[in-house]
Amino acid sequence: METLPFFEWLDTSLLASIAKSNGGVFAVVQMFHLLGMAMLGGMVLLGDLRLLGILMRDIPSATVIDNTHRWFGYGLALTLISGIFMASAVAMKLYYNEAFWAKMTGLGIGILFVYCVRRPLLSFEHSSINPWAMRCLAGTSMVLWFTVAASGRWIGFS
C-alpha cells in the first residue's frame, strides 16, 4: 500500500499549517497527548494487573475491567485526536521515521486486540476463561501498549 501521497497531502493540509505556524498550540496539544497517554496507560495497567491477580485482588475483576475499559476509550480518543494534529506538523519527517511505523503497527494491532478480542472475551464470566488465556491476554495487552508508548517517545530521538 502506497501511503506517501497521504503524508504529502497531510503535510500541506490546513491542520498542518496551523500546527506548524503556532509553536504554542502544538505544545498545548502535545500536553493533552501526554495526559491521554497517562490515562490510557493507567487503565491498561490496572486492568491487566487485576487480571494477573496482582492489584485490587479483593475487587471483582469484571468490575475493574468494566470501569477501566470505559476510561481507556476516553484516553485513546484524546491521544488519537491530539496525535493526528501533532502528526500533521511533521508529516514528511514521520513518513521516513522507523519508530513512527513501529508505533502505528502497534497501535493498529492494539485497537483491534482491545475491541475485537479482549473486550469480547472478557464479556464472558471471568472464572470460566482458561487461566492461561487470561495471562496471555493481560501480558500481550501490556507489552503492546508499552511498545506503542515507548516507540512514540522514540520518534523524537531517531
Partner 1 sequence: MQKTTLERLTYGITIVVLCGAGWYWATQVQSVLEILEMAYG
Partner 2 sequence: MNELLLALARWLDSHSLSTQLHESFYMYNWVESTHVLTLMLFLGMLIIIDLRMLGWIFPTVPASHIAERLDKPMLIGMAIMFITGFALYYAIPERTTQSIWFRIKVVLLIAASINAILFRARMRDSSASWDTDLKPPNNIRFAAAASLTLWAGVVITGRTIAYDWFDCHKELPAFMYWAAGCVDQLAASRGVE
Site membership for partner 2, residue 25 (CB under 8 A): no
Interface residue with partner 2 among 4, 34, 84, 136 (CB under 8 A) is 34
Map residues 108-147 to x or -, x wherever contact with partner 1 holds by CB under 8 A: -x---x---xx-xx--x---xxx-xx--xx-xx--xx--x
CB of 4 to partner 2, least distance (A): 28
Q: Is residue 46 close enough to count as binding partner 2 by CB under 8 A?
A: yes
Write the CA distances from 55 to 58, 120, 155, integer angstroms. 9, 22, 32
List 64, 106, 149, 152, residue binding partner 1 (CB under 8 A): 106
Q: How far is the CB of 115 from partner 1 (least distance, A)?
A: 12
Measure Cα distances from 119 to 13, 47, 100, 149 in Å.
36, 11, 26, 21
Over 38-106, what HEC string results? HHHHHHHHHHHHHHCCCCCCCCCHHHHHHHHHHHHHHHHHHHHHHHHHHHHHCHHHHHCCHHHHHHHHH
Nearer to partner 1, 27 or 132 (CB): 132
Contact 16, 10 (CB under 8 A): yes
Rounded (10°) CA dihedral 99, 153, 110, 145: 130
Instruction: Rule CB under 8 A: choose which of 25, 30, 81, 129 binds partner 2.
Output: 30
Please report, as residue ranges, which positions from 62 to 81 form the binding site for partner 2 (by CB under 8 A).
63, 67-68, 70-71
| Interaction of residue 39 with partner 1, rule CB under 8 A | no
**How many other CB atoms are found less than 10 A from the CB of residue 32?**
16
With respect to partner 2, which residue has the nearer C-beta, 18 or 45? Answer: 45
Residue ranges in contact with partner 2 by CB under 8 A: 23, 27, 30-31, 34-35, 37-46, 49, 55-56, 58-59, 63, 67-68, 70-71, 146, 149-150, 153-154, 157
